[in-house]
Structure formats: structure tokens, C-alpha cells
Structure 1
Amino acid sequence: MNEWQPSSWRSKTALQQPIYADPQELDAVVDELSTRPPLVTSWEVERLKTQLASAARGDAFLLQGGDCSESFDACRADPIEKKLKVLLQMSLVLVYGMRKPVIRVGRIAGQYAKPRSSDLETRDGVELPSYRGDCVNRSPFTAQDRCPQPANLIGAFDRSAQTLNYLRALTEGGFADIKHPENWELDFVTQSSRSGQYHQMVRGISDSLDLLGVIGGVSRSDLSRVDFYTSHEALLLPYEQALTRRAIARDGWYNLGTHYPWIGDRTRQIDGAHVEYCRGIRNPIGVKVGPSTTADGLIELLDVLNPSREAGRMTLICRFGASKIAGCLPALIDAVVASKHPVLWSVDPMHGNTITTDQGIKTRHFDQILDEVRQAFAIHAEQGTVVGGIHLELTGNEVTECIGGSGGLGSGDLVRAYESSVDPRLNYEQAMEIAFLIAGQARESS
């Protein structure tokens, strides 16, 4: 077999790729991106991999969340702060309830592309390319907006760099200081039915840390920062190729456009270009696992992506749907355990529970989301394995995109604040409710 190169994927069939009118312009953009400084470092990637290995053993927990598809227009301070705030608050609840470290990973700083079920969209007899995310085209239904533009890849890189710069400034500069959780407050936190419980928890943790500082000599600086990592679907392979670099002072190739890429349910073909690309990079890799996944196919995929069975390398992001998880997950767990592949099992309760209302609005019912989470924990407990993480589409904005939850949103509320251009996301209150559910289950089982 020839030595793997970042461009090796070009010899395979690449699904979900836009068709550009000028391939030479695309090549020029890829060449330009190849000269840009990397967005992350191999040291950060390796640190994350070590932490993910701990989560796979049950000694930590992965919290991965963010937008279904980032918008160029949302590359502003306020939306970035709100995404970080909700993930910090969720992680605080999980740390308190699970009594273990939480690995915080955002679907952020690169999640600008989305796979689509159809290449074309038709409205009122007009057929145009589907919207594939801001790094490909734009959502307004016009021929100009829907035409894929290579220059958008530069726009995605620039906004990813700006977002990462601000995230690092926040997490390193005291914004995440557990001694000052008021920094994390969202304007509408007091409206949540969980508000009192959350604030009581914060006071309890703060008191515990005061005691720890007195007895254990923990310094203020030790508590003022958190690790925060980025992730996105490795979908647009020319972009991923451009940001793949040889490591400094260590062997191998790394995707330095993100810490933690994943392969989607539509692009995990064993002989496909996305698997070919991901097998050669040293990053930890997520794979979306759905109802169409077979036990034999999953083991074959793990053999290709992680032949050395490296701990922390593979995360299986399970997205079956509440009605299908019981019939799909146990056989896959049995096969992976028998293969002795070390994997982190993460539950994605969003993608398998998407429905469309009578008004044609895409949404998800919060009860089904919670049900899939509960079933995942119960199935793993029965199988003797652990849920090591959760993968959510969420936002810090007070959106009305998923129905149900303690706020009692109904289908009629969706039009009030439906901001997503692709998939519906949990709002702050719904996301916190899931965090409390997981924390509560962990405390009951301990």
C-alpha cells in the first residue's frame, strides 16, 4: 500500500461534496489555505486524546455540543460567549452530579458545512442546489446564493480563527473561573424552573472549593481556567486536506483545523473518501453510528480507522432514535466488546428524533430526546459498558426550535424564535434539563 498523504482521499469516491463551477478556483483556495497558520496544535490534540481515553474507561465524561451548522453572521462576541456559557453551566452540573472530570468540546470554530439528503431543492417549480452550510453557499433561495463559492472556504477559516482566538481568551483569562460563576449567567437563567437548583449547586461547589483551598493549598489560578476543545464534521475534504500538517517534534499527520473531527452517518462508507482521509490523521476521530450500521461493518470500520487499537482514538456517536435504540445498540456493543477495540460510547439523542410538523417545520420532541438518553444509559448498564459522553445540538440563545421540555413549548411556539437554517437545536433551558437528568442518574446509581 502506498504511503498515506492528505490527498489520498482523492482516489476514492467522495460523497456530499459540492460541485464548483470553476475547479481551478477551488484549487487556488486550497493552496492558499495550505499556507495559513494552523488553528490548533498537535499538543492540544494529544491532550484531548488522553482525556477521551479516560472517558472511555468511565473515569471522565465527554460533553460535546453546539450549533448544527455555524453561521458566518454569528461570528460575534455575544453568540460565542453564550455557547461557551451554556456548555460551562452544563459541565458544572455534570461534574457535581457524576463526581468525575468533564471534557468540554464545542461544535464550534469550523462547523460550517452540513450533509444534505438531496443535492437539489425545489420550491414553486424552481430547482436550485441545496444549502450546504455557509462555507459552501448561502441559505436564501436564489441562484446567486445557492451557487457554491470556493472563496467561502477562506471565510470559514477566518471566522474559525477569530472564534478560537476569543474562546482561548475567555477560557484562559478567568471567564471560566469556578469561583466566579456569575460570569457564566445567561440573561434568562432566572426564568428556568431549574434556576434555584442550579444556584444552590453553584453555592455548594464554591463552598467546597473554599475548603479545598484552605486544606489542600489549591491556588486561585488552578481554578480559573478550563480546557475547551473544538470539533466539526470532516465533510468538505478539500478544506480538511488544506489544514492537514505534519506534526512538529512528533511523527504523523494531524488535522490542525480542529481538535476532534468526526465522520457523518452519510459518509462512513468503508471504501469511501472520508474514511480514507480520516484513517491517516492522528486526531481522535468520532464516527456517527445509526440504524443502518451493522456489527460486522462497524468492526471493519474500526479496524481501518484504528488498527493499532490506540486508546482515545475512536468515539462512536450513536444516533438511533428513541424508537430504534433498543433494537440496534446491544448487538453493536457485543461486537465491539468481542473485538477488544477501545472506544468511547457517546449518545447523540438529536439526529434520530427529527420530525416535521403539519406546518412543514423541522423539529424534535424533547420527550423523545430524553427517552433516548435514558435508554442509552440503561442499555450500557445492562451490557456492562459505560456511556462516556453525550453529543448535542444546542445554543445559548433563547430559541424555540425543539418542542416540549419544562418550558412546555408546542408546535405553535416554533415560529416565535426559530433561528436555525438547518436542524433544530436545544435552547438553554432544555440543554440544562438534560444535564440535570444525567447528573441525577449518576448520583442514583452511585
Structure 2
Amino acid sequence: MDFADLSPTYARGYQPGWPVEAEVKRARDALARADPLVPASGIRRLQARLAEPGFLLHAGDCAETFRDNTRTSVAKRVSLLHAMSDAIEAKSGRPVVMVGRIAGQYAKPRSAPTEHRTGITLPSYFGDAVNDTDFSAAGRTPDPWNLVRAHEHSKKTLSHLEGSGVFASHEALLLDYEQPQTRRSADEGRVYDHSAHLLWIGERTRSLTGDHVDFAAGIANPIAVKIGPGATPAALMGLHAVLNPENLPGRLAFIFRMGRHRAYDLAYAMLSRIMAEGWTDRVICDPMHGNTVVSPAGLKTRVVAAIEAETREFFSACNDTGVTPGGIHLEVSGDDVSECVPARVDDTYLAINYRSACDPRLNPEQASYLAQLVGELLVSHRHFVQREEMTASRR
């Protein structure tokens, strides 16, 4: 196929350029016949948990891969989520809801539809649900049957998650994957996307006139939306009006990913509007996606010190507006990877064990440090709220 033809398709909602449309229909039909990955009862249970004051720990792989979908790998990721949750609860006394980037995070939007290496142009890697990391024409050609393979691997992962207390989530990027798994509940008539408990919309696909927001508005799952530095309070108003018009607790969350340099000012403006409007929407800090840099050797990385700085700025903005911090969104690995650097970019350190198929992840030591920090910041916020309540009672 002519890979140059991918650009127009990719521009329309970051969807892959499937080479044979008839095969896409067959793959969609197979997904429509497949058993639901998660039941409506589990989705409702998560929404009920999110409607309560607990803190959301939303963490996991940047991009899951089929090859790493083993019982051991899943167990490591679940163990890390539990360790982080325990650390936050022990420090803050606040209950934690664990939602993994797991059992479906097989697709990634990319900044460019194609990748260039040594004079060769091929499609970018869009996640295992689309194509392969192998830089070859065969590996990078989008294959719609990978959507079915993603469903099969997600089912396998969920079998390992049974009884773990971790809910599943992924970015609702590939509509050819999400739409066939969307069904109306026979007992209550609501429409659910059975591919995950929680779905989120990315910064690139959150347009109010886009297909992704339209899709999310029609399902009853909890929904999150990534909010980057280009967003405005007016954009939040539009998203709230479309995705949570009834202002239901547990329905909608905004995940702020601003970058450490502007994190406080941008979050403060958004949080002030949320407070003024009286919305029940949860606010979550993603201190990673706005702090990605490229090393001299060309590897994407993130500096833990920058991640910590944005986390602190987010909590400060919550304190100063009176909005309760609702969660943290992190990309983490259960393995001892060397993808995020402690304080400065160091290619020697990155070369030790850089394994991510896409973006850099925190290793267990780094993730545990962030969890401890979050617990401490939650204590500070709790005291702030208590002081305000005491002040108000004296008036």
C-alpha cells in the first residue's frame, strides 16, 4: 500500500489507515459477537466508588504489548498498584480506588502518522491493536485483526486480575474496537462499553465536535478526559455539558497534564471554574505527559524531579481554590526499568533497561516515591480544608 495515503485518515480522529475496509468490517463483526470483557455490574460498581470521596490511583503501562501479557507481568503490575495504594492510604487515611491502565491499553495516538529511518518511511507504531514495533513494511502495516487479538489478550489479562481489586481502563482511541463492544443493558436499558470499566479521551481527541466525545457521551461508563495546556475553562464547560449534563458524581473526571512550568497557573484557572460552577467532576493530576523530553541519544524520557514538581503545583492549586484533589495518573512498570531519570537526562542510565514500546514509565522505586509524596500532599490538603471549615464555623 502507499503509506503516504495514511495522513488524511490519521488526521480524521487519529484512526489508523486500515488497508482493506472489508477486513475491518469482519473484525468488527467478530468483536460484536464476542463476550463482554467486563460486566455492566462491574462498571456500575466503579462509578459508585468514584462517586464517593476516595482518591483515584490511575496507573499502569503506557502501551501494553501482547508479548508481555503474562501472569507474571500482570502480577507485578497489580502488586505495584497495591503497594502504591497502601502507601497513599497509610499516609493520608483516605481510601484509594485502584484503576489500571491495563487489559486494553493496546493503542496509542502518535504525533505523526509516519516514521522515517535511514531514508525509509513507514507508518508509526500505534500500539499492538494496530501494528507492530518491528520497523518493516509487514510489521508496520495496520492489521484490523489485531483488534480481535487485543480483545483476546484483554480477556486473558482480566482473568489474571480476578479478585485483585483493580478496575480496568484504557484510552478509547480506536472506535473500531470500542463501538462493537458497546451494548444496551437488558436489565436497565443503559448503554455500556464492555471493553473496560473506565474509558478516557486523550488530549488529541477531545474536540467537542469529534467522534470520540460523541461516542463517550452515549455510554454510561465513567469517563475521563485529558486536559492539556492548550485547553481553556470554556473548553471544560463544553465537555462537562456534553459528558455530564446531569452533574452526576462519579461520571466524569478531568485529567490535567500541563507540564511543570505552567502547572499551577493553568490548573488554578480550571479549578476555579469548576469550583464556581459547583460541578461534581473529579480532578486528577497527570504529571508525566507534559514533561516528556528527548535525550541526546534520541530516547524519550521524563525527569522524576519534574514529575514531582508538577504534582506539587497541582496540589497547591487545589489548596488555593478549595477543590479536592481527586487522583493521580501515572505511567508505571512493574519491572525495574530505566526509562525515567531521577534528576537529569543521562543516556548511560537510560541504556540499562529501557523497554517501553512507546513512552517512558516509572519503575517501582520511583512510583513508590511518588505515592508517598501524594499521601503527604493529601494530608496537607485535608488540614487546609479543616482550617477553612473551622474558620467558616466561627463566622
- Does the pair score TM above 0.5? yes
Do structure 1's residue 246 and structure 2's residue 184 form an aligned pair? yes
Deviation at 1:429, TM superposition (A): 0.1
| Equivalent of 1:411 in 324, 343, 347 | 347
Deviation at 1:60, TM superposition (A): 0.9
- What does residue 3 of structure 2 align with? none
Give the distance between the partners of 2:231 and 2:264, measured in 1 at CA.
14
Deviation at 1:411, TM superposition (A): 3.3
- What does residue 206 of structure 1 align with? none
- What does residue 436 of structure 1 align with? 372
- What does residue 40 of structure 1 align with? 38
Checking the alignment, whether the CA contact within 8 Å between 2:122 and 2:135 is kept in structure 1 is: yes
Deviations, residues 90-136 of structure 1 (Å, cap 9, x unaligned): 11111111112110010000000000011111111111111000010
- What does residue 76 of structure 2 align with? 82
| Equivalent of 1:159 in 147, 153, 162 | 153
Give the distance between the partners of 1:232 and 1:444, measured in 2 at CA.
31
SS of structure 2 residue aligned to 1:364: strand
| Equivalent of 1:425 in 337, 361, 367 | 361
Deviation at 1:409, TM superposition (A): 8.3
1:69-218 to 2 correspondence within 5 Å? 69-168=63-162, 171=164
SS of structure 2 residue aligned to 1:352: coil
Give the distance between the partners of 1:126 and 1:257, measured in 2 at CA.
36
Deviations, residues 151-194 of structure 1 (Å, cap 9, x unaligned): 111110000000001110x52xxxxxxxxxxxxxxxxxxxxxxx
Give the distance between the partners of 1:326 and 1:379, measured in 2 at CA.
6
Give the distance between the partners of 2:215 and 2:65, measured in 1 at CA.
26
Deviation at 1:301, TM superposition (A): 1.3
Deviations, residues 37-77 of structure 1 (Å, cap 9, x unaligned): 101111111111111121xxxx2110010000000001111
Checking the alignment, whether the CA contact within 8 Å between 2:255 and 2:329 is kept in structure 1 is: yes
Checking the alignment, whether the CA contact within 8 Å between 1:255 and 1:283 is kept in structure 2 is: yes
Deviations, residues 253-303 of structure 1 (Å, cap 9, x unaligned): 100110000000000000000011000000010000000111111101110
Give the distance between the partners of 2:123 and 2:266, measured in 1 at CA.
34
Instruction: Supply the AA of the counterpart residue of 1:103.
Output: V
Instruction: Supply the AA of the counterpart residue of 2:43.
Output: V
Deviation at 1:440, TM superposition (A): 2.2
Give the distance between the partners of 2:109 and 2:236, measured in 1 at CA.
21
Give the distance between the partners of 2:183 and 2:33, measured in 1 at CA.
10
SS of structure 2 residue aligned to 1:106: strand
Give the distance between the partners of 2:238 and 2:71, measured in 1 at CA.
43
* Bigger Cα displacement from structure 2, 433-442 vs 147-156: 433-442
Instruction: Supply the AA of the counterpart residue of 1:437.
Output: L
- What does residue 51 of structure 1 align with? 49
1:353-368 to 2 correspondence within 5 Å? 353-368=291-306
Checking the alignment, whether the CA contact within 8 Å between 2:78 and 2:166 is kept in structure 1 is: no
Checking the alignment, whether the CA contact within 8 Å between 2:191 and 2:220 is kept in structure 1 is: yes
Checking the alignment, whether the CA contact within 8 Å between 1:403 and 1:411 is kept in structure 2 is: no
SS of structure 2 residue aligned to 1:47: helix
SS of structure 1 residue aligned to 2:351: helix
Deviations, residues 351-388 of structure 1 (Å, cap 9, x unaligned): 00000011111000000000011111111001011111
- What does residue 341 of structure 1 align with? 279
- What does residue 388 of structure 2 align with? none
SS of structure 2 residue aligned to 1:62: strand
Do structure 1's residue 311 and structure 2's residue 238 form an aligned pair? no
Distance 1:293 1:409, change over 3 A: closer
Unaligned runs of at least 5 residues, structure 1:
1-12, 172-226
Give the distance between the partners of 1:20 and 1:440, measured in 2 at CA.
47
Indicate the RMSD between aligned Cα atoms, in angstroms. Answer: 1.3
Instruction: Supply the AA of the counterpart residue of 1:85.
Output: S
Give the distance between the partners of 1:312 and 1:443, measured in 2 at CA.
23
Instruction: Supply the AA of the counterpart residue of 1:343.
Output: D
Deviation at 1:327, TM superposition (A): 2.5
SS of structure 1 residue aligned to 2:129: coil
Give the distance between the partners of 2:237 and 2:12, measured in 1 at CA.
22
Give the distance between the partners of 2:257 and 2:45, measured in 1 at CA.
26
* Higher RCO (CA < 8 A, seq sep 6+): 1
| Equivalent of 2:19 in 18, 21, 34 | 21
Give the distance between the partners of 2:111 and 2:236, measured in 1 at CA.
22
Checking the alignment, whether the CA contact within 8 Å between 1:44 and 1:259 is kept in structure 2 is: yes
Q: TM-score, normalised by structure 1?
A: 0.82
Give the distance between the partners of 2:356 and 2:245, measured in 1 at CA.
38
Instruction: Supply the AA of the counterpart residue of 1:395.
Output: S
Give the distance between the partners of 1:145 and 1:290, measured in 2 at CA.
32
Deviation at 1:140, TM superposition (A): 1.1
Identity between Structure 1 and Structure 2 (%):
40
Deviation at 1:252, TM superposition (A): 1.4
| Equivalent of 2:29 in 23, 28, 31 | 31
Instruction: Supply the AA of the counterpart residue of 2:111.
Output: S
Give the distance between the partners of 1:442 and 1:420, measured in 2 at CA.
30
Checking the alignment, whether the CA contact within 8 Å between 1:356 and 1:363 is kept in structure 2 is: yes
